[in-house]
């Protein structure tokens, strides 16, 4: 589906020196109003002098900060801007945040690709945007030196002013912004030492800029967009996977009130009408005949495909090897051989996929809740045969993303509808369509062999992992079949543990089902496998699971500190009678994470008491926001552990809405205790960290409580429920 | 197409739509109030929660013909008398992450508080069943307890 994967490395734009590109950014700010609710509209005239790609300052002193990333609940539009504002020494109350355009200046500094995801919006951009803020600060100081006729070395920037302490004179940023913009761009701007951070870090939190509008109901999500002359579209996709349209009888549908057009697309038929419900009613009048292009799938056949892969000699690639695991396993006196399974999952963000697109001769305008702004440009440009620069992407708030909105399939559907009717079209997927047309997180099946040494610690661990790709559809460079999917093997490669012999083999399974990355990437399923395995090994060795892990990270004081703090907060080993604890650890997204789940069993059902999370992401820029992300992530992890699964029957998913695709709600959420350490050297991510250790910690606690080892998720599939969840049984 | 008249956030409203149109889409598409959100269409998620004659209702599954002459309140109407304690608590506790489910959550919580001004944690667990994919439940509970005072 994606044209991106077919781009060669040479075609992907080469990396540029961002600071030197800043001189040419006059065109970066574009005027654009988002219908009548212009939360993130850029107003070039009002923004004033463009100092660099990220900073503009108006004569009034108002600072406009560009956020390269999409706001989907991670608080990025506040924190990203605060990092820049801190280096800039701006007055935060004078700062306004806007979404940047989809443009080269805002691309990921290493991948040279603009997207929001992989818990790396801050950690990948942090150094760059600090330099942007610092560069702007130095240019303001240089301009103030001229204005005040004093040496720049005597000037101090603070809170939106440049001050000259010897004389007491000062000048606000506003009056010198134009002159600052003319200054030479400093080659090596000096970022502040952390001791001088005022807005971020140091336990501080800023009230999120987007929260009041989200509480009032005025925040504009993609589904809320209104543009002049806008029509609405609803779609019907094939009832089974890998199925094409044979023919469409739209005579009755076209007669329905408000209908403008019936537009057959790729595997999907759209109805465009004046109002959304009119489009939905007309959909019901369509008579479509479908043609399956693959044999109907079911769970048994799919799982058989996974299992058959283990016996194949081709298609396997080595992801990692240290030492000689074959020899260590052969020599082992105590061998453990287990298999762990994580199911297919659907992204199911609260806001279903939607996009508003206007296709005209002048170009294409998109208003969408997208994580894939550049992907959107590339896909629409390819399909409409226009240059990518002619696709203007206006981003809205996102009602969750979790990776799904990295793709542009739903945007393309809207674009083709707009082309068909000659008007802007807002296309909305029903929840059923959102699940049916998902690119699922595929099931993971990991066969593991581990050997224990005389001290009970593992001498060797060999993973053989089978999964369809999760990286290919979102990668700007091609991912070849038969190779290692770098995201799929996360958590089992680069283990934080001192296990001398390690090997990871990966088989990229080909299936006729669209698959892609979902929040937690490979860490989700693989941490469940690895941390459950470690629990099995600890028990086999007769050792406490917390102490077992301490021994395996004894070489890493930061990892030890996270383990110890979690054990302390959880009062590990001191749970009241009848309560049981499970522990798990991860090195994920640049953060260490340890989680402890405490539960008891009541008439065979789980009663969750408390979940402790301790994370070390290097630096916590916003304490409240970081805690929210971890806690919300815990709930995501609980959903994966307890309920969520996409299952297949006769070529279609059984689950099409939240009645069957179950997720955790408030009654299932226990007490959450969260803490942070900041010992790691580099800044790590948080957005996908919270869920990672929950499934293993929960199942490890369950083992402690019941003596039964769960090696397949979700627990609902084994009829293991919480007290509340029994109603789903 | 049929005309329907009702009171919306204290003011008269009238629309001319197919009688099967859910109240949700009347509010969003015909009356321009997009605070009430579409999440599932089958009354499972609660993102579409409004008040009809003081009761919390999932408007995706409530057709327009059910609100003839009724009093409807949406999230936009909650602050007619000034900032609502729930909205203030939601901001103080920094409850929302993506925020998409929050109008429905707040409307469900408002209905709970109207019926039970001092809910216990158990009361909240029993009555707030809206789905939040960002998982903000812990803060939601704290905010409701804080707003109840």
d(CA A602, CA A121) in angstroms, rounded, equals: 42
Chain B residues closer than 8 Å to A223 by CB: 34, 37-38
Which of B47, B99, B126 is opposite residue A210, by nearest beta carbon? B99
Q: Does A350 touch chain B (CB under 8 A)?
A: yes
- Residue A529: which of A601, A466, A597 has the closest Cα? A466
3 state DSSP class of B139: helix
Maximal C-alpha separation, chain B: 47
Q: What is the distance in angstroms between the Cα of B21 and the nearest Cα belonging to chain A? A: 6
- Residue B57: which of B65, B48, B69 has the closest Cα? B48
- Residue A646: which of A441, A468, A427 has the closest Cα? A441
Residues β-bridged to residue A272: A233, A261
DSSP state, B27? I
Return the pLDDT at A12: 26
Spatial contact of A390 and A398, defined as CB atoms under 8 Å apart: no
Cα dihedral A271, A274, A275, A279 in deg (nearest 10): -20
> CA of A630: which chain B residue's CA is closest?
B135
- Whole-number Cα distances in Å, A550 to A498, A540, A566: 10, 17, 12
Chain pair A-B, CB pairs under 8 angstroms: 188
CB contact under 8 A, A666 and B128: yes
Rounded to two decimals, the pTM is 0.95
CB contact under 8 A, A666 and B106: no
Question: Please, which residues have CB within 8 angstroms of residue A510's CB and are 6 or more apart in sequence?
Answer: A468, A481
Q: Does A663 touch chain B (CB under 8 A)?
A: yes
CB contact under 8 A, B96 and A276: no
d(CA A169, CA A148) in angstroms, rounded, equals: 8
Q: What is the distance in angstroms between the Cα of B39 and the nearest Cα belonging to chain A? A: 5
Chain A residues closer than 8 Å to B35 by CB: 216-218
Spell out, as residue ranges, where chain A has pLDDT lower than 50.
1-40
Spatial contact of B104 and B49, defined as CB atoms under 8 Å apart: yes
CB contact under 8 A, A350 and B98: yes
For A523-635, list the strands marked E by DSSP.
580-588, 591-602, 605-616
Question: Please, which residues have CB within 8 angstroms of residue A441's CB and are 6 or more apart in sequence?
Answer: A344, A345, A346, A347, A470, A515, A516, A517, A518, A524
DSSP state, A326? H
- Residue A100: which of A143, A57, A66, A133 has the closest Cα? A66
Spatial contact of A369 and A395, defined as CB atoms under 8 Å apart: yes
Chain B residues closer than 8 Å to A663 by CB: 131, 133
Interface with chain A: mutation pick from B25, B38, B108, B135, highest number of A CBs within 10 Å: B135
Q: What is the distance in angstroms between the Cα of B67 and the nearest Cα belonging to chain A? A: 17
Chain B residues closer than 8 Å to A426 by CB: none
C-alpha A679: how far from chain center: 24
Which of B100, B130, B137 is opposite residue A399, by nearest beta carbon? B100
3 state DSSP class of A320: strand
CB contact under 8 A, B37 and A349: no
d(CA A273, CA B63) in angstroms, rounded, equals: 20
d(CA A357, CA A423) in angstroms, rounded, equals: 9
Distance linking the first and last C-alpha atoms of chain B: 47
Q: What is the distance in angstroms between the Cα of B120 and the nearest Cα belonging to chain A? A: 13
Chain B residues closer than 8 Å to A275 by CB: 17, 25, 29-30
CB contact under 8 A, A431 and B136: no
Cα dihedral A329, A331, A335, A339 in deg (nearest 10): 20
CB contact under 8 A, A658 and B131: yes
d(CA A441, CA A600) in angstroms, rounded, equals: 31
Chain B residues closer than 8 Å to A431 by CB: 39-42
CB contact under 8 A, B90 and A210: no
> CA of A636: which chain B residue's CA is closest?
B135
DSSP state, A666? G
**Mean pLDDT, range B103-123, rounded to an integer:** 97
Chain A residues closer than 8 Å to B45 by CB: 350, 658
Pairing of strands A156-158, A95-99: unpaired
Residues β-bridged to residue A337: A449
d(CA A275, CA A284) in angstroms, rounded, equals: 15
3 state DSSP class of A416: helix
3 state DSSP class of A194: helix
- Residue A239: which of A276, A267, A277 has the closest Cα? A267
d(CA A147, CA A143) in angstroms, rounded, equals: 6
Chain A residues closer than 8 Å to B21 by CB: 277
Residues β-bridged to residue A449: A337, A462
Residues β-bridged to residue A584: A595
Residues β-bridged to residue A236: A269
Interface with chain A: mutation pick from B27, B29, B119, B134, highest number of A CBs within 10 Å: B134
- Residue A661: which of A333, A344, A255, A353 has the closest Cα? A344
CB contact under 8 A, A350 and B96: no
Chain A residues closer than 8 Å to B132 by CB: 350, 635, 665-666
Task: State pLDDT tens for residues B40-58.
Answer: 999 999 999 999 999 999 9
- Whole-number Cα distances in Å, B138 to A56, A214, A726, B135: 38, 18, 21, 8
Distance linking the first and last C-alpha atoms of chain A: 37
Q: What is the distance in angstroms between the Cα of B3 and the nearest Cα belonging to chain A? A: 15
The residues in A 591-630 lying below 8 A from B, measured between CB atoms, are 624-625, 628-629
d(CA A552, CA A560) in angstroms, rounded, equals: 9
CB contact under 8 A, A666 and B47: no
Q: What is the ipTM of this complex?
A: 0.98
CB contact under 8 A, B135 and A74: no
d(CA A277, CA B31) in angstroms, rounded, equals: 14
Chain B residues closer than 8 Å to A432 by CB: 41
Say whether the peptide bond before residue A430 is cis (omega within 30 degrees of 0). no
Residues B92-118: b if buried by 16+ CB within 10 A, e if exposed: ebbbbbbbbbbbbbbbbbbbbbeeeee
Spatial contact of A505 and A309, defined as CB atoms under 8 Å apart: no
DSSP state, B60? G
Chain B residues closer than 8 Å to A278 by CB: 18
d(CA A260, CA A276) in angstroms, rounded, equals: 12
Q: Does A94 touch chain B (CB under 8 A)?
A: no
Return the pLDDT at A729: 74
Q: Does A277 touch chain B (CB under 8 A)?
A: yes
d(CA A668, CA A635) in angstroms, rounded, equals: 9
The residues in A 184-223 lying below 8 A from B, measured between CB atoms, are 205, 207-208, 210-221, 223
Chain B residues closer than 8 Å to A728 by CB: none
Q: What is the distance in angstroms between the Cα of B7 and the nearest Cα belonging to chain A? A: 19
- Whole-number Cα distances in Å, A421 to A360, A418, A425, A558: 11, 5, 8, 59
Return the pLDDT at A30: 27
Q: What is the distance in angstroms between the Cα of B148 and the nearest Cα belonging to chain A? A: 17
Task: State pLDDT tens for residues A564-597.
Answer: 999 999 999 999 999 999 999 999 999 999 999 9
- Whole-number Cα distances in Å, A566 to A562, A581, A584, A665: 6, 12, 10, 25
- The helix or strand, by DSSP H or E, that contains position A260, with its residue range, turns out to be strand A259-264
Which of A216, A430, A628 is opposite residue B97, by nearest beta carbon? A628
**The pLDDT of residue B1 is above 90:** no
For A430-480, list the strands marked E by DSSP.
444-452, 458-467
Chain A residues closer than 8 Å to B29 by CB: 232, 275-277
d(CA A405, CA B33) in angstroms, rounded, equals: 25
């Amino acid at each position: 589906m994606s044209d991106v994967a077919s781009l060669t490395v040479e075609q992907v734009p080469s990396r540029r020196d961002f600071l030197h590109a800043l001189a040419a950014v006059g065109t970066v700010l574009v005027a654009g109003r988002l219908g009548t609710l212009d939360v993130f509209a850029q107003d070039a005239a009002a923004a004033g002098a463009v100092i660099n790609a990220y900073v503009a300052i108006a004569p009034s002193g108002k600072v406009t900060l560009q956020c390269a990333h999409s706001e989907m609940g991670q608080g990025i539009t506040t924190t990203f801007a605060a990092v820049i504002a801190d280096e800039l020494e701006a007055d935060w109350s004078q700062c306004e945040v806007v979404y940047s355009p989809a443009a080269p200046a805002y691309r990921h500094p290493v991948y040279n690709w603009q997207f929001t995801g992989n818990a790396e919006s801050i950690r990948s951009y942090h150094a760059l945007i600090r330099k942007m803020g610092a560069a702007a600060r130095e240019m303001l100081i240089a301009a103030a030196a001229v204005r005040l006729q004093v040496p720049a070395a005597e000037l101090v920037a603070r809170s939106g002013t440049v001050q000259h302490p010897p004389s007491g004179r000062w000048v606000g940023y506003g009056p010198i912004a134009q002159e600052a913009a003319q200054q030479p761009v400093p080659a090596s701007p000096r970022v502040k030492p952390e001791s001088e951070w005022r807005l971020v870090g140091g336990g501080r939190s800023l009230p999120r800029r987007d929260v009041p509008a989200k509480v009032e109901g005025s925040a504009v999500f993609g589904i809320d967009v209104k543009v002049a002359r806008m029509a609405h579209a609803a779609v019907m996709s094939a009832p089974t996977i890998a199925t094409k349209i044979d023919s469409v009888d739209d005579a009755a549908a076209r007669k329905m009130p408000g209908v403008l057009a019936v537009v057959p697309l790729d595997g999907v038929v759209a109805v465009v009408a004046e109002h959304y419900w009119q489009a939905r009613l007309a959909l019901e009048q369509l008579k479509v005949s479908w043609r399956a292009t693959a044999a109907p799938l079911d769970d048994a056949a799919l799982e058989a495909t996974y299992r058959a892969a283990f016996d194949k000699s081709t298609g396997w690639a080595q992801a990692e090897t240290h030492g000689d695991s074959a020899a260590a396993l052969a020599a082992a006196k105590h061998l453990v051989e287990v298999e762990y399974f994580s199911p297919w999952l659907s992204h199911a963000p609260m806001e279903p996929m939607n996009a508003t697109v206007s296709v005209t001769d002048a170009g294409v305008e998109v208003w969408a809740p997208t994580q894939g702004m550049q992907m959107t440009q590339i896909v629409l440009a390819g399909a409409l045969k226009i240059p990518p620069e002619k696709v203007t992407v206006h981003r809205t708030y996102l009602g969750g993303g979790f990776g799904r909105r990295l793709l542009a399939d739903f945007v393309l559907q809207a674009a083709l509808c707009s082309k068909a009717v000659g008007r802007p079209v807002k296309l909305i997927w029903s929840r059923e369509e959102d699940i049916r047309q998902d690119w699922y997180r595929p099931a993971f099946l990991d066969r593991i062999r581990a050997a224990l040494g005389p001290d009970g610690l593992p001498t060797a661990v060999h993973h053989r992992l089978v999964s369809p790709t999760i990286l290919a559809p979102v990668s700007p460079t091609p991912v070849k079949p038969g190779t290692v999917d770098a995201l799929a093997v996360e958590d089992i490669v680069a283990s934080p543990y001192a296990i001398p012999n390690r090997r990871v083999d990966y088989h990229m399974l080909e299936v006729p089902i669209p698959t892609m990355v979902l929040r937690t990437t490979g860490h989700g399923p693989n941490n469940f496998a690895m941390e459950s395995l470690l629990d099995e090994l600890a028990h086999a060795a007769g050792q406490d699971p917390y102490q077992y892990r301490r021994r395996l990270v004894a070489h890493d004081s930061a990892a030890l500190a996270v383990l110890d703090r979690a054990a302390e907060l959880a009062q590990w080993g001191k749970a009241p009678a009848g309560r049981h604890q499970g522990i798990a650890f991860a090195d994920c997204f640049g953060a260490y994470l340890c989680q402890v789940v405490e539960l008891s069993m009541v008439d065979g059902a789980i009663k969750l008491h408390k979940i402790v999370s301790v994370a070390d992401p290097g630096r916590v820029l916003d304490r409240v926001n970081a805690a929210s992300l971890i806690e919300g992530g815990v709930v995501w992890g609980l959903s994966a552990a307890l309920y969520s699964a996409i299952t297949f029957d006769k070529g279609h998913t059984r689950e099409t809405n939240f009645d069957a695709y179950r997720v955790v709600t408030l009654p299932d959420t226990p007490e959450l205790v969260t803490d942070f350490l900041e010992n790691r050297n580099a800044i790590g991510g948080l957005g996908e960290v919270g869920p990672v250790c929950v499934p293993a910690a929960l199942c490890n606690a369950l083992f402690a409580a019941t003596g039964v080892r769960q090696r397949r998720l979700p627990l609902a599939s084994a009829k293991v429920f919480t007290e509340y969840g029994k109603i789903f049984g | 197409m049929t005309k329907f008249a009702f009171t919306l956030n204290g003011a008269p409203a009238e629309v001319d739509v197919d009688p099967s149109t859910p109240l949700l889409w009347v509010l969003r598409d015909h009356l321009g109030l997009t605070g009430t959100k579409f999440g599932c269409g089958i009354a499972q998620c609660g993102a579409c929660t409004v008040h009809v004659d003081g009761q919390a209702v999932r408007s995706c599954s409530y057709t327009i013909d059910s609100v003839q002459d009724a009093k409807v309140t949406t999230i936009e109407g909650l602050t007619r008398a000034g900032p609502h304690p729930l909205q203030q608590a939601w901001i103080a506790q920094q409850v929302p992450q993506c925020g998409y489910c929050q109008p429905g959550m707040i409307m469900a919580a408002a209905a709970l508080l109207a019926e039970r001004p001092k809910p216990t944690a158990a009361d909240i667990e029993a009555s707030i069943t809206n789905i939040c994919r960002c998982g903000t439940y812990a803060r939601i509970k704290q905010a409701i307890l804080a707003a109840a005072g």
